[in-house]
Structure 1
Amino acid sequence: MFGGSQHVTITGGNFTEVQGDANHYHIKGNYHNHNTEVGLHILSQATSLGAIHDSSERFPPPKCHPDTRHEVIRIVMRWIEDDDPDSSIFWIYGPAGAGKSAIAQSLAELIQASRSSYGGSFFFSRGKLGRDQAHHLFTTIAYQLAFHNATFREHLNQILYENPTLPTKPINMQMQTLIVEPLAKLNGLLDSAPVIIIDGLDECNGHEAQQLILNVIAEALRKSRTSLRFLVASRPEAHIRETFDSDQLYTMTRRLVLDESFDPNKDIEIYLKDGFDRIYEEHKQFMTDIEKPWPSYGVIDLLVQKASGQFIYAATVLKFVGEEYYRPNKQLDIVLQPTPRRSTVFPDLDALYTQILLTCPHRASLLVILGTILTFHCPQLPEVIEDIFHMERKEVNLVLRSLRSLVRIPGIECRGSQQGEEAEGEDDKGLRFYHASFHDFLVDEDRSGPFYINLEEFRSKFTTSGFQVISRFMPATFRK
């Protein structure tokens, strides 16, 4: 700003720097002209700019390593570039820590680079002011759409000028008046359908709000034939699955689960190797006596197995090992310690697990179920646990309802399984953890706190309950 100026004195005032042409520009400061765009100024007060993919609040954002996730990104980009897809919504889902946000971030950057397809983004984040509420979603999306199409912007500004209360209305009305109606004015002027990215839907405050968002989107697409596409990323929580499986959403949604079919172990290996190479170079003064390759291939393989397809595990390891003012080799030794006393190593991972476990209102039954999964050496059916601990039928499924991102539950999957979704084989008919790191968390009291499971005590309890079950089926003469 003021490039080349000399001998300038300025007292007071506000300044906005705009770079580029009127339709595609980067703005520092305010995002509109207060005098001529009163409507947009009103809207700006009801948006959450920190939820946009390239906001400073999210910097540095998680995103895919350039040599990973190629197949997932290729599938989504092919859907975006399809002029006539059979679905207007694309749902990416997977267990906690599977890398959904990183994929959404990378896709947002790719789509924005194409200019013609990017409509906007909203990255929910639990507990972050403005980023965990449904009523900020569509106002923020509308605000972004206004800066990618001048005609949309003009109509939206006029709508808000005539009714400045619209940002305070229910979200279904926001969707209709702030997005659908301005888009209808374009009359086929768009080169391609704008793509809206919504990440972390499960982190929006309230199950009802999450379901309402999906139903509002589906209703708008169904009734208006709006030229929009929505990419939604979330955990496979029960209420979200059920909403996507409803008749209204089922026919307009394509699904992709981040499972083993995309070979996440290979991507995690690449990510770890590159990360450790970077750490080695950044800490060369401490690594002069450490021979390369560091770490060894065996250690990399061990960490890949421990990750169990969980990118957050790999990211947490690299973050801990690469801490400033510490020797990386010593930090790695702590990670590899066989003892469970490593409470300082995985704070991010522990917070994630604790956050999910706290959503379950049946803590006593939950600990019994988790302890049983830990005790058995092979997956067991829910009915086995219900018999052993005198639970009612379907109680295990009820207790684990909010933990589907951590525990694989047999027979629970979305309608219309497609390639890349869960396929249940003979080895998958029992309860099991998605991540080996969840096992380590539960048996470490320093890490899991109220969710700690003492395996020795639980095995004793399990044995007692097991004998009681056996005795019920023994002839009376054997019980004397």
Structure 2
Amino acid sequence: MNAISQSGNGPDAQSVQHTQAAGVHNCYDADDGFKHLQAHVATSAFDSVDKVDAPKCHPQTRLAVLDEIMDWILLAVTRIQWMLWLNGAAGAGKSAIARSIVALCLSKNIPVARFFFFRTDPTRNSIQPVVATLVHQLVQQLPDLLAIIVPKIQSDPLIFRKSLETQLGYLIFEPLRQLHRECPMKTNVVLLVDGVDECAGHENQKGLVRAIASFLSPRDIPVVAFFGSRAENHLGQIFRSQEVSTSLLQLALDGHYLPDNDIRLFLTEKFAEIKATHPFSDYLDKDWPDPSHVGDIVTKSSGQFIYASVVIIFLSSPRQHPAQQLEIIRGLRPAGKLTPFAQLDALYRHIFSQVENIGQASLILAYSIFGNTPHLVDLEPFFGIPFDTVHVILADLPSIVDYRSSKEALYFLNASLPDFLLDSK
């Protein structure tokens, strides 16, 4: 029995036959079971053509973190960490890294089933289609699973209406254990879930992590789980819990990976591409852009790829002059009806929409921007906000601001955030 498909063509449901105590089920039954599975799959969660989806990492960037993650996946010695949490600030490039990991796994014939949550897409912003979507990909890459899973769907057609834990055990972990007993898998299977924080409902987010951790706890099958999300407090709480943390590798996308170098490389190559391909390239100065202007974009990015990416998208518009677009970015030319940072603004608006105490949070942020020496201990005499409540008020903003009581100050993780807050629009 070949546990891993080398052809990549996936299974043919009509060829599946199996025998149960009740007798032999015909090919029509197998096809019916597979179609029932397909009816619950969110295709956009793993194969989306939506422009809002992050592409893979730019070539030759993020190499250190990609190597670290792939080394963890390929680990052949005794494994301690069966789950990985990649977290970082809003716009840090987590999804691009996740998509690159998928591509690397597929290129090495490592089975990888993935689900990319996205908050504004109703087909993939809820917990309901997660298991069916993962299962569908697993049977494509591990065809022998189909003969195990289809009978289970046939015997319980309502399985997709049951709890997440029941679905995970019945359709993923039990079948993988059976397959591993019958034909030991020679490589790890990867379950990759990105954008966990974009799944509707905090309890659903925590429940997904907790359930997968529970099924991995026996450590008896070669399955690892990758989670990507912003470092929201409620997710940090579940990942730090005893039931999860003992098997967890946590990677934070911070200065440790020298993101400024990668962002500069990305910008340098993208500016060269604009100069070579843009319809108005003949009207660009040969020395454009000024290196200091590129440096300003790197600084404004604050280690987060989203700002640099948005700038390049804006400059690449075939209907506008790139040099004039850059002047708009630098604030030297009015934007008019153009909206260079619409994507970034939408991200900030979503984050602020989740803030419970938006009034006091806004006061704290405003004080941090306008105060000459903005020590947060001074908030109480000005606004009546006790210093020891600041961390509670800012609890919904860990992906865009960093607050540590020992410093008595607030640090913006995205240098573009004050611009957003000060924009009257």
Is the structural similarity TM-score above 0.5? yes
**Offset, 1:319:** 0.6
Instruction: Identify the structure with bigger relative contact order (alpha carbons < 8 Å, sequence gap 6+).
Output: 2
Alignment-derived partner of residue 147 in structure 2 = 154
Answer whether contact 2:5 2:142 (CA < 8 A) is retained.
no
Answer whether contact 2:324 2:333 (CA < 8 A) is retained.
no
Deviations 1:173-205 (A, max 9, x none): 000000011011121521112011111000000
Tell me how far apart the structure 1 counterparts of residues 207 and 136 of structure 2 sit (CA, whole Å). 21
Alignment-derived partner of residue 15 in structure 1 = none
Q: How does 1:185-224 map to 2 (within 5 A)?
A: 185-186=178-179, 187=181, 189-223=184-218
- Match status 1:438 vs 2:421: no
Answer whether contact 1:92 1:258 (CA < 8 A) is retained.
yes
Unaligned runs of 5+ in 1: 1-20, 412-425, 447-480
Tell me how far apart the structure 1 counterparts of residues 165 and 219 of structure 2 sit (CA, whole Å). 13
SS in 2 for 1:121: strand
Q: CA RMSD in A?
A: 2.3
Alignment-derived partner of residue 96 in structure 2 = 102
SS in 1 for 2:125: coil
Answer whether contact 2:112 2:138 (CA < 8 A) is retained.
yes
Tell me how far apart the structure 2 counterparts of residues 224 and 155 of structure 1 sit (CA, whole Å). 21
Answer whether contact 2:367 2:374 (CA < 8 A) is retained.
no
Counterpart of 2:205 in structure 1: which amino acid? Q
Structure 1, 33-42 or 298-307: larger mean CA deviation: 33-42
Mark the CA change 1:224 to 1:142 in structure 2 (over 3 Å): closer, same or farther.
farther
Tell me how far apart the structure 2 counterparts of residues 398 and 372 of structure 1 sit (CA, whole Å). 17
Deviations 1:123-150 (A, max 9, x none): 0000212210112112211111111112
**TM-score of the superposed pair, with normalisation by structure 2:** 0.89
Alignment-derived partner of residue 176 in structure 1 = 169
Mark the CA change 1:371 to 1:50 in structure 2 (over 3 Å): closer, same or farther.
same
Answer whether contact 2:328 2:334 (CA < 8 A) is retained.
no
Deviations 1:358-392 (A, max 9, x none): 101212111111111112355634x4434542224
Tell me which stretches of 4 or more aligned residues in structure 1 moved more than 4 Å: 57-61, 338-343
Tell me how far apart the structure 1 counterparts of residues 57 and 410 of structure 2 sit (CA, whole Å). 30
**TM-score of the superposed pair, with normalisation by structure 1:** 0.80
Instruction: Choose the corresponding residue for 1:164, options 157, 160, 171.
Output: 157
Counterpart of 1:81 in structure 2: which amino acid? L
Answer whether contact 2:191 2:224 (CA < 8 A) is retained.
yes
Answer whether contact 2:190 2:223 (CA < 8 A) is retained.
yes
Q: How does 1:371-450 map to 2 (within 5 A)?
A: 371-377=366-372, 380-381=375-376, 383-386=377-380, 388-392=382-386, 394-410=388-404, 430-446=409-425
Identity of aligned residues (%): 30
Q: Which of 1 and 2 has greater Rg?
A: 1
- Match status 1:25 vs 2:19: no
Answer whether contact 1:48 1:136 (CA < 8 A) is retained.
yes
Counterpart of 1:121 in structure 2: which amino acid? R
Answer whether contact 1:340 1:443 (CA < 8 A) is retained.
no
Structure 1, 58-67 or 214-223: larger mean CA deviation: 58-67
- Match status 1:256 vs 2:251: yes
Deviations 1:319-352 (A, max 9, x none): 1111121111111111111589677110000000
Alignment-derived partner of residue 20 in structure 2 = none
Tell me how far apart the structure 1 counterparts of residues 149 and 67 of structure 2 sit (CA, whole Å). 34
**Offset, 1:318:** 0.6
Deviations 1:249-297 (A, max 9, x none): 01011001000111111111111111111111222x5232432232111
Answer whether contact 1:24 1:147 (CA < 8 A) is retained.
no
Alignment-derived partner of residue 459 in structure 1 = none
SS in 2 for 1:331: helix
Tell me how far apart the structure 2 counterparts of residues 162 and 44 of structure 1 sit (CA, whole Å). 16
- Count of residue pairs brought into register by the alignment: 405
Instruction: Choose the corresponding residue for 2:40, options 27, 35, 46.
Output: 46
